[in-house]
Amino acid sequence: MIKASRRQLIQQMGAWPLLWPLLREGRAEAQSKPKRAIVIYSPNGPIMDLGPAIGTETNFKLHEWWSPLERHRDVGNFFVGLHQAGVPFGEHNEYGHQSGGTGALTARTTEKTNNSTGPSLDQFIGQALQKANMSTPKRSLLWGLHNNAGNWGPWYESAGKPIAPEMDPFKALAAIAPNLRGDAVSIVDKKLTRKHFVLDKIYKDCKGLTSGLGAEGKALLDYHCNSIESLEKSVASALATQASQTVNCSTPAKPNTALTAASNFSAADNRDESMKAFTRLISLVFTCDISRVVGVSFGDTASRFAIPASYKVPSADKVDSGDSGPQHHAWTHTYNSGADKRLALKTFYTWYSEQVAKLLDELKKTLDADGKPLMDSTLVFWTSELGHRPGNNSLEPHPNDNIPVMLFGNSGGAFKTNRMFTATGNNEQRALVLHQMMVSVIQHTGLPNINEFGNKGTGPLAWLRG
């Protein structure tokens, strides 16, 4: 095991450590405290119900479809009534999937073009960090459980340049393995380290005070010095204990999954295991500072996404899109509001929520190299391209409206959490909130001067701070 500061953890930085003292203060500050972001996209929307929360700002409950996230209310902000950012503000029944899919994470007007005119949020952040000389070995990472090979997908490197998530956790691991230093690195709790530094200094101060003291004063001072030394030893011991709790930056033999490299990662039945693997990989790349931004995709818009059969999603009849079976997309096209449809959509959203909740579990329990939970420095943004249109459950609405959006994390204490935001106003006003939220996520990663994302220059969402 190697003892190292967090700075030494930064992988493949070449001469970075040597150049450190020469860096401007602002950059050093940003480098010293990594801020991370996870961008999650789930396709096809809840359609039948308005979520994810019901109530008022501070007195609310989660809709039962999102109930697995109840255990993470403490770090969550739940948004109701948001309109898709970027798309033209009006009706989008016909092109809901297209305009929503390409605009959900890009916040740009792309209706009918099948292509975005700018990067998705994850790619934008990675590129901006690189420009600001805060890049990590991997500028950003994009992993997922299903994709339509870029067909109306939400992930874009740049205008007209869609990208597809890696679905194979084994390949994902192989891609980051060269950036893992191959050993375990001790956690450095900066607060405790500072306490130890202070106690060491004042112990020396104490020992240096004895000159001129009589026996009475020396006895008092000896007692004090000994008590400082005792506390210093206690803190040193705690540091040593923490140091044994390493951030393991060695390359795992395989991803955290029962699957094998030969498994079919497109198979619905493997998606629990795939997500489990990606969850652990996310904590690995964050703790070892291989990347500070990760995209997680549950599938592209209109994709034939399904979850393992064990969840017993009812099977939809063949619908106008040609889909059928236990697929999220097929159920969004059924012309009914029956119990089967409700059960299907509920099961999908409960499953998505459980996967996100497990990811949040991982972020809360995993310490980074500064000895703090990853959750303290990570924002998790989860959105979709479709939402809900009140009073129109029975047909085939594809509204880019009333989208369930959630933001987890308090950005190191900067954001208030455990709240519900209910958007009001016209479509444009309610879309503005989503624009602003995306800017807040960007700024959180160490880019405080970026006030624009997508096709609107909005500034951050002030509500998050107050």
Partner 1 sequence: MLFVRLPSQSCVVVLSGLLLGACSGEITTGSPSTGNGGAGNGGTLVTGGTGGSIEVLEPGAFSTGPGLRRLTRTEYAYTVEDLLGFKAERSTLPAELIVQSHGFIAGAQKIGYEDNEKYYTVADKAATFAAPKLLSTLNCQTPACYSDFARAFLLKAFRAPPDDASVAIYAGILQDTKAGDTVSERLETFLTVVLTSPHFLYRKELGTTVSGRSRKLSDDEIASRLSYLVWQSAPDTALFEAAASNALATPARRLVELQRMLKDPRAARGLRTFSSDWMALFRNAIPEKVPAVLQNTDATFANSAERGFELLVDEVLTADGASFTDLLTADHVMGDAAVAKVLGLNYSGTGFIRLPLDTTSHRGVLTHPMVIGAHSKEGGASPFPIGKFIYENILCEVIPPPPAVFPNIEDVPDGLSLRQRLEAMTKDAPCSSCHTRIGPPGFAFLPFDPIARFSRNDASGKPFDTTGTLLLPDETKMPFDGAADLANKLAAQPSVQACIATRLFRFTQGRFESDADSGELATITDSARKNTSDVAQLLTALVGGKTFSEVLVK
202 sits near partner 1 (criterion: CB under 8 A): yes
Q: Please answer whether residues 119 and 160 qualify as being in contact, where contact means their C-beta atoms are separated by less than 8 angstroms.
A: no
3 sits near partner 1 (criterion: CB under 8 A): no
253 sits near partner 1 (criterion: CB under 8 A): no
Give the other-Cβ count within 10 Å of 216's Cβ: 8
Task: Tell the smallest beta-carbon distance from residue 230 to partner 1 (Å).
Answer: 5
Task: Tell the smallest beta-carbon distance from residue 26 to partner 1 (Å).
Answer: 9
Judged by beta carbon, residue 1 or residue 198, the one nearer partner 1 is 198
The interface with partner 1 within residues 32-71 (CB under 8 A) comprises: 32
Q: Could you say which of 182, 212, 322, 391 contacts partner 1 (CB under 8 A)?
A: 212
Two tokens at 65? 């479809």
CA 240, 242, 244, 247 dihedral sign is negative
**Partners of 456 in the β-ladder:** 453
Task: Tell the smallest beta-carbon distance from residue 439 to partner 1 (Å).
Answer: 25
Q: Could you say which of 3, 29, 131, 318 contacts partner 1 (CB under 8 A)?
A: 29
Piece in contact with partner 1 (CB under 8 A), picked from 193-201, 246-254, 371-379, 395-403:
193-201
The interface with partner 1 within residues 121-140 (CB under 8 A) comprises: none
The interface with partner 1 within residues 352-371 (CB under 8 A) comprises: none
**In three state form, how does the secondary structure of 368-403 look?**
CCCCCEHHHHEEEEEECCCCECCCCCCCCCCCCCCE
**Partners of 402 in the β-ladder:** none
Q: Could you say which of 108, 195, 341, 342 contacts partner 1 (CB under 8 A)?
A: 195
Task: Tell the smallest beta-carbon distance from residue 3 to partner 1 (Å).
Answer: 13
Task: Tell the smallest beta-carbon distance from residue 96 to partner 1 (Å).
Answer: 48
Q: Where are the alpha helices (DSSP H) in 177-315?
A: 190-207, 215-244, 271-287
Judged by beta carbon, residue 232 or residue 273, the one nearer partner 1 is 232
Contact string 213-252 vs partner 1 (x = CB under 8 A): xxxxx-xxx-xxx-xx-xx--x------------------
Q: Nearest CA to 77 among 90, 98, 60?
A: 60
Judged by beta carbon, residue 227 or residue 337, the one nearer partner 1 is 227
Longest Cα–Cα distance in the chain: 96
The bridge status of strand 53-55 relative to strand 378-383 is unpaired
Q: Nearest CA to 286 among 392, 389, 387, 363?
A: 363
Rounded to whole angstroms, the Cα distance separating 445 from 439 reads 10
Rounded to whole angstroms, the Cα distance separating 310 from 19 reads 54
Tell how far CA 5 is from the center of its chain.
Answer: 25
Q: Could you say which of 125, 129, 206, 379 contacts partner 1 (CB under 8 A)?
A: 206
Task: Tell the smallest beta-carbon distance from residue 22 to partner 1 (Å).
Answer: 13
Give the other-Cβ count within 10 Å of 345's Cβ: 21
Q: Please answer whether residues 7 and 185 qualify as being in contact, where contact means their C-beta atoms are separated by less than 8 angstroms.
A: no
Q: Could you say which of 194, 312, 318, 465 contacts partner 1 (CB under 8 A)?
A: 194
Q: Site for partner 1 (CB under 8 A): how many residues?
A: 34
Q: Could you say which of 18, 25, 310, 462 contacts partner 1 (CB under 8 A)?
A: 25
Rounded to whole angstroms, the Cα distance separating 32 from 286 reads 14
Residues forming contacts to partner 1 in the complex (CB under 8 A) are 7, 21, 25, 28-29, 32, 194-195, 197-199, 201-202, 204-206, 209, 212-217, 219-221, 223-225, 227-228, 230-231, 234
